[in-house]
Structure 1
């Protein structure tokens, strides 16, 4: 799917009165709250309607949030305003974006599996370069077993993650945590039910 088609697809999915993936943060991200301190800088990529970026801003982080869909970013800013926090929000195609380098303490990537393998390699490289030394990647995605559950995520198995794929992709980082689990999630209408998940916390040396 090219950038224009992706923008139209996600704009249409987000053009609804409620929030497609809910307004609460992703459970894995919320479980990492002990790693967060006020004043840290965070980049949340493909953040959709902003649930994760807003939650980080509520914890005192300085947050840049991105999405390809203008409607999503509009809703993210509205959510931030309702919660009394601010976001630096960017409408951007991540494959064409002029990524900041060594600029963030945290890069958050929750369910970014729109990226096919070639694009994923570029995306992971740019995520790593965007971190300051000592900064953290917080990533959650679906494993191939998710296709059988049918409770969210892309139908392309090549877009899904395995432990070996992530271990290889982040071999130049210190892997703090890498784990697979099947869990029930409830994230709006978009992600609901038993899901085959994988979590990564990795630190830039």
Structure 2
């Protein structure tokens, strides 16, 4: 069983059942859009939330255990989503396929894979589409309240501006906040949020 399968193999949801607060706060921005991709969606809390906003959601993750729980959470909430179990390094990021891409705490990726993923997110956004991304900053290592222990996996504003230079940045913010996302993300956390739109 993989690392993520082992983490998700429990009755509760390790990041909780509620959506990420940043994603929830941006719900008004996704109104009027039709399709969404939830990247590395794990147990599905964010994909399910996007489905609740009326979007047709594809939830991708490497863990079949997580995606089974995502399907269960969708049924519990009275919505549906499509799940696809894959190694994200092998995902083809179909061109201009999604109106919204949500990438919430996907910092398992070392720099080379991260660069490929970020390029894929830009590719798969439809013209006028919206990217919603949240992650941890390097200052998170001192807090120790979640996220990777590898400094190179963390985000800075300069990194995100460089990697998403082809998008119109609507908002890019760095701040500390109290996260209450299940057992795995709890306590004072150093986060960074990006809201960006693909021209067109």
User: TM-score w.r.t. structure 1 length?
Assistant: 0.95
- What runs of 5+ residues in structure 2 fail to find an aligned partner? none
* Alignment partner of 1:85 is 2:79: yes
Q: Where do 1:154-193 residues align within 5 Å?
A: 154-193=148-187
Q: Structure 1: which 4+ aligned runs deviate by more than 4 Å?
A: none
Count of paired positions = 199
* More displaced stretch, 55-64 vs 34-43: 34-43
Instruction: Give the alignment partner of residue 12 of structure 2, picking from 4, 7, 18.
Output: 18
* Alignment partner of 1:122 is 2:128: no
Instruction: Give the alignment partner of residue 28 of structure 2, picking from 34, 40, 44.
Output: 34
Structure 1 CA distance, aligned partners of 2:166 and 2:52?
Answer: 31
Contact 1:38 1:59 in 2 (8 A): no
Contact 2:33 2:99 in 1 (8 A): no
Alignment deviations for residues 149-184 of structure 1 (CA, whole Å, 9 cap, x no partner): 000000000000000000111111100000000000
Structure 2 CA distance, aligned partners of 1:39 and 1:104?
Answer: 9
* Alignment partner of 1:59 is 2:50: no
Deviation at 1:99, TM superposition (A): 2.2
Q: What value does the CA root-mean-square deviation take over the aligned residues? A: 0.9
Contact 1:184 1:193 in 2 (8 A): yes
Deviation at 1:38, TM superposition (A): 5.3
Q: Paired residue for 2:44?
A: 50
- What runs of 5+ residues in structure 1 fail to find an aligned partner? 1-6
* Alignment partner of 1:131 is 2:125: yes
Structure 1 CA distance, aligned partners of 2:32 and 2:157?
Answer: 31
